[in-house]
Structure 1
């Protein structure tokens, strides 16, 4: 942290005594910057700062509130500070649902993203594909399990072999947030303030919904604002939730083994 703070101070001219560590930041170092003119900014360690900045701009272009990008200095990303009171009220959930519907209305020409990315040390193979079940099986599930122990890899291989039968062949290639859980949703005064830490690509919109429900249960207001689920979404949910479970197993180990085991079991693996 000392080295990161020194680098931020050098880049921005903000003295180290006006930098303070922010809560969270499990995968990145994050500092609150108190600028001389009174503005607050956030400095985040981001090995792919340019790619993350482009994703934030893509979200903003879809009408999603995001922190403004104030500077790109790989591996440092400087962002507008967005206040967050953490109160996910029914009104806030309604705004989140409406925002996600706007995001998913933006379509790509295939499944993937112009550049590869990573969540922590888990690399995301974003090569654009026209075959969604294959993309999900190979470029998400098998790829995420690549460095796990052999029994895990074998079970993931068996689950991946089912994707062609389980997933839709050609869902709408929606713009996805890609790492949507409540920790990446900022709210204030009952309103959606910003979505942060995206890992964007184009894919089945059911993935963002599945990941969001892996760690929380949005209330009726969210679902009313987003819209009705597609037929069969509940049966497909374990296939989509398995990916973030594998990512967490890779990054944080044993505490997520039971989750991954449960989802693999639901997929017959």
Structure 2
């Protein structure tokens, strides 16, 4: 693997003296590169198993950077080499946020969500975890959530043998609960593993799954697995018009991520999915 990384770095004109393994989740292999230049991170995965995944990540990071809200790691290079795809990023020295840092996170997230457009979707299908995430254009939030998020995951769950009762009734019942407003740019996979904190520069966002969607998706994911203190949510609420948000119905948006986890990791997420469907039918 080190020879592979050296070859990629030579191709990209980078001098590397040390290669250190980093934790990179289930999909990517990640390494810290040090040499004559400032430290970098390289992410590697299968070119054929996850087509264009890292190119899409690079595109998403650049799009988030344009919002001038959160810090975003600089994209150094992206490409294919042999059977691998690679993404080289600025290395961010990780730190631990203090209590007083978290309101800034909420304020920055509110600013990110102000990046808006009329229609819902994105320029291309991307990924949520290792699953394809469709992003065809939809005019309403309800159509986007049902057609581009819930129905593909429910169909996959059925193919995997998970029988979620009343799913079709649920899709009919929830339409009136999905806010009718312009789409917001969202990170799309905002759990506690997808931010970094630098002691001097503040919060960075990483590993996005962006779309023009609803702010509730990011808020729901933040709540689902924890790791974000109440002060971040409070600062967010103080920065937006909460009357336009469905804060009482974040479970509705958690369902998407729970279905993704059901399809990726199995039966242990079934009851949580069924409970939310039952709640709204």
Structure 1 range deviating more: 56-65 or 214-223: 214-223
Gapped regions of structure 2 (runs ≥ 5): 46-51
Q: CA deviation at 1:16?
A: 8.8
Matches within 5 A, 1:76-225: 76-85=86-95, 87-149=96-158, 150-152=161-163, 155-168=166-179, 170-189=180-199, 192-216=202-226, 218-225=228-235
2:73 to 67, 72, 76: 67
Cα distance in 2 between the residues matched to 1:114 and 1:95: 30
- Quickly say closer, same or farther: Cα 1:88–1:258, change in 2 above 3 A: farther
C-alpha change, 1:163 and 1:78, in structure 2 (3 Å) is: same
| Paired position in structure 1 for 2:249 | 236
- The 2-side partners of 1:10 and 1:185 are apart by 29
Task: Kindly indicate whether the alpha-carbon contact (under 8 Å) linking 1:65 and 1:192 is maintained by their aligned counterparts in 2.
Answer: yes
3-state DSSP of counterpart to 1:130: coil
Cα drift, residue 57 of structure 1: 1.1
Residue 151 to residue 225, structure 1, CA distance change in 2 (3 Å): same
Please state whether the residue corresponding to 2:212 is helix, strand or coil.
Answer: strand
Q: Secondary structure at the match of 2:157?
A: coil
Give me the TM-score of the superposition, normalised by structure 2. Answer: 0.84
Equivalent residues of 1:70, 1:78 under 8 A apart: yes
Q: SS of 1:44's equivalent?
A: strand
**Equivalence map 1:45-64=2 (5 Å):** 45=44, 47-63=52-68, 64=70
Aligned length: 262
Q: What's the TM-score, normalizing by structure 1?
A: 0.87
**Offset at residue 248 of structure 1 (A):** 1.2
